[in-house]
Amino acid sequence: MSTLQFILENTTLDRTDARVILCHLIEKHFSWPRTALLSRNTEILNPFFIEEWRDLERRRLFGEPVAYLIGMRPFHAIELRVNPSVLIPRPETELLVDIALERINELRCKHPTKKIRLLDLGTGSGAIALALAHADPEIEIHATDISFEALKTAQENARYLNLYEQVEFHLGSWYEALDLSDTKQFDVILSNPPYIHPADPHLNQGDLRFEPVAALSDQVNGLNCIEVILKDCLQYLSPGGSIAIEHGFEQAASVSSLMAQNGLLAVHHFADLAGHPRVTSACSPTL
C-alpha cells in the first residue's frame, strides 16, 4: 500500500530531500499544493507516481543533487529551471544581487534620469541577471557565458519568468562575448566565476560531482578567471562604476590585491552568513 505517509515513513532519504521531491511529484502528477503532503497523506498513489518516486529516490541516494532531480531551484525572489549544464545557484550568490541593488540605488540618487547598465559575466542559469531584472525592471542587463547549453538555459529561464525583454544574452568568453559595435560602458559589473582550485578535494564530493566542472574550476589556480575579468574591467566600467566578484573565502586578500593592481578603488569585502568574506567589490576612478 503506497501513500505519501508510507513513503515518508519508509524512505532512507534525508527527510527534507524526500519532502522536496514528493512536493515536486504531487504537483506534477496531481497538481496538488504542497500542503497535500499532510492533508492527503493517506490517499493511495497511482503506479506512475510510485515508479517515478522510486527512480528519483534511487538517484538521490546515488548522490544526484535534488535541484537537478526536480529541475528547479529558488534563488533570491525567483525560481530557476536548472539542469546539469548549469551550476546550481547558491544562497551565497544572493549577496552579489543585494550588493548590486544597493549600488544601483546609490547611482539612482546621484543620477535620477540615467539608465543603469549592468553586466553579469558567466551567467549560468541566469541567476544573477534574472534576479536583478525581477527586482528592478528599469535596469538594462547584459549576461554572458561561454557555454552554449548554459546560455540556452538562461534564455529559457528569462522566457519562463517573462524577463526576456530586459536581459540581452551573449555567447563567448567574458568581455569578448559583447557586441563590439556597442561601445557604451557598464555602471555595474558582477561575476560569480569558476574559482575552485583544480586540486580542491571538494570537487569530488557531494553535489559538485554532478555540476559542470567548467562552472566550478578554472583548471589553473582558482584565481585565473578573476584575473582575466579584472585585467580588462576598467575598459568596460563607466567612471565611478562598480565591480563585485564572488570568490572562495580564502581568496579575499588575493582578489583585493588584484583589484588594486588593476587601478580599482574603494575595495571592500562582504561576508556570507557564516562570516566568511565571499564577495569583493571596488569602483573605477571618476573622471
Ligand X SMILES: C[S@@+](CC[C@H](N)C(=O)[O-])C[C@H]1O[C@@H](n2cnc3c(N)ncnc32)[C@H](O)[C@@H]1O
Q: What does the DSSP 8-state code read for residue 184?
A: -
Cβ at position 39, least distance to ligand X in Å: 35
**Nearest approach, Cβ of 251 to ligand X (angstroms)?**
13
Q: Which position has the grid cell 496538488?
A: 32
Q: Cell match 574591467: residue?
A: 233
In whole angstroms, how close is the CB of 193 to ligand X at the nearest point? 6
Nearer to ligand X, 123 or 166 (CB): 123
- Measured in degrees and rounded to the nearest 5, phi and psi for residue 197 equal -65, 135
Exposure string (b/e) for 136-171, b if CB count within 10 Å is 16 or more?
Answer: beebbbbbbbbbeebbbbbbbbbeebebbebbbbbe
Smallest gap from residue 150 Cβ to ligand X (A):
4
Q: Where along the sequence are the contacts to ligand X (CB under 6 A)?
A: 87, 89, 93, 122-125, 127-128, 144-147, 150, 173-174, 192-194, 214-215, 225
Backbone angles phi, psi at 267, to 5 degrees: -70, 135
120 beta partners: 143, 190
Q: Which residue has 538562461 as its cell numbers?
A: 154
Could you tell me which residues come within 8 angstroms of residue 120 by beta carbon, excluding any fewer than 6 positions away? Answer: 128, 129, 132, 141, 142, 143, 144, 190, 191
Pick the closer one to ligand X by CB: 220 or 253. 220
Closest CB to ligand X among 97 and 282?
97
| 18 vs 119, beta carbon nearer ligand X | 119
Beta carbon nearer to ligand X, 57 or 92:
92
Q: Which residues contact 179 (CB under 8 A, 6 or more apart)?
A: 170
**For ligand X, the closer CB: 127 or 189:** 127
Q: How far is the CB of 269 from ligand X (least distance, A)?
A: 18
CB of 233 to ligand X, least distance (A): 14
